[in-house]
Structure 1
């Protein structure tokens, strides 16, 4: 059994890889003061894993705390997965592969492992990232924008625009909170729409849209294109790496 851990900017998610399959284990906030306690609460009862693979974009300290907990609890070293020029049928578009966030890299590997052809991966998290993968497994590049919470936080400091987050029924709203929510969500939806348009032009075919990240379900009802919701794409990628690791 191998432990797969995805330390994101906002949440830590983990799963178990065994006998060619993986299962989701749980999640908790990436809150450094309480990270070790959450590991103890959720993972202490697990049997000792033969390996631990970690994707970390949540900061050096969070990764160190997790690795220290694993060392003390199981005496198992943590392998911090890194972005590469190519691996598992995926070729990075970046001249310096290390500059591509490991969560995005593992998302590409996860999509490839799932048997996807050309696909556009949209991860709606703290930041909103878009990555294009062609049918041959070549990463064609991506785009990055603020996530929904980041956009809301940026506007929340303006007194004239402040107010509680509200649901909205249409694009145009008659309450400030609802208007904020509409503008933020539809800004993100606009990025998705333009990404798909640009991808179709570049590839000469329409790629499948894969939607992942904490805000994926918020965006999904507002996206006109057909899409596939993949809640834990980074862990899917970690599982692929774990399977080919000794």
Structure 2
């Protein structure tokens, strides 16, 4: 059994992997606890895995805290995925490949497994990333925009009369809180539709894949056709782990 984890800026998602399936999974926000404390809360009751493979965009403190707990609890070294110039049929467009968010890299590797057509990979998290892949695996490039939470927090922080209240995503909001929540959802949805539409007009039709923690919220508000792949990151981690094992 392998343990796979996607460590983001606002939450950690994990799954066990056995026989190509993901039988156990979970997620949590960190809050005020240490990374080691979060690992203990999530994984202390799991059976010992043979490997732990993690993609993290949360910085060196997260990697150090998680790796320390895994080493102390299970006695195994954590494998952290980093972006490279090429891997698993994908070629990175960045002049400095290591500067690409590793979660984007993992998602594109998974996309390549799911389709050999041109595709557009949309990951809806703290930030929304959209990456274009050619049929031959070339990364054509992409964009990064603020996600819904960042949009709302910018309004709360920079204005005096918009308090941080939970609202509903309405197209015709009739309270400030609903206008803020609706504005964020429709702004992200419109950006995704608009950007992928322009990419398709420039490069040609392809499969639009949607993943990330906010994907399920955004999906009903999108006008284009998208395939929701909630396990895209875990699929990519599984592929990378299998490649590394075969070396």
In the superposition, the TM-score normalised over structure 2's length comes to 0.91
Q: Please say if residues 110 and 235 of structure 2, whose CA atoms lie closer than 8 Å, have aligned partners that are also in contact.
A: yes
Alignment correspondent of 2:89? 89
1:196 aligns with 2:189: no
Deviations 1:53-91 (A, max 9, x none): 111111211111110011101110011111011111111
Please list every run of 5 or more consecutive structure 2 residues that lacks an aligned counterpart in the other structure: none
Deviations 1:206-239 (A, max 9, x none): 2222111111111111101111111232221111
Q: Please say if residues 189 and 222 of structure 1, whose CA atoms lie closer than 8 Å, have aligned partners that are also in contact.
A: yes
Q: Please say if residues 209 and 226 of structure 2, whose CA atoms lie closer than 8 Å, have aligned partners that are also in contact.
A: yes
Alignment correspondent of 1:211? 210
Alignment correspondent of 1:178? 178
Alignment correspondent of 1:12? 12
Distance 1:116 1:165 in 2: 41
Distance 1:57 1:236 in 2: 18
Alignment correspondent of 1:27? 27
- Secondary structure at the aligned position of 2:33 is classed as helix
> How far apart are 1:23 and its partner, in Å?
3.6
Q: How does 1:1-246 map to 2 (within 5 A)?
A: 1-31=1-31, 33-115=33-115, 117-157=117-157, 158-162=159-163, 164-170=165-171, 172-204=172-204, 206-246=205-245
Structure 1: which 4+ aligned runs deviate by more than 3 Å? 20-24
Q: 1:184 to 1:78 in 2, by over 3 A?
A: same
> How far apart are 1:36 and its partner, in Å?
2.5
> How far apart are 1:6 and its partner, in Å?
1.2
Please list every run of 5 or more consecutive structure 1 residues that lacks an aligned counterpart in the other structure: none
> How far apart are 1:159 and its partner, in Å?
2.0
Q: 1:200 to 1:163 in 2, by over 3 A?
A: same
In the superposition, the TM-score normalised over structure 1's length comes to 0.92
Q: Please say if residues 32 and 61 of structure 1, whose CA atoms lie closer than 8 Å, have aligned partners that are also in contact.
A: no
> How far apart are 1:168 and its partner, in Å?
4.0
Deviations 1:168-197 (A, max 9, x none): 442x43322222122211211121122222
Q: Please say if residues 126 and 146 of structure 1, whose CA atoms lie closer than 8 Å, have aligned partners that are also in contact.
A: yes
> How far apart are 1:133 and its partner, in Å?
1.3
> How far apart are 1:33 and its partner, in Å?
2.2
Distance 1:162 1:122 in 2: 30
Distance 2:168 2:32 in 1: 31
Distance 1:24 1:141 in 2: 34
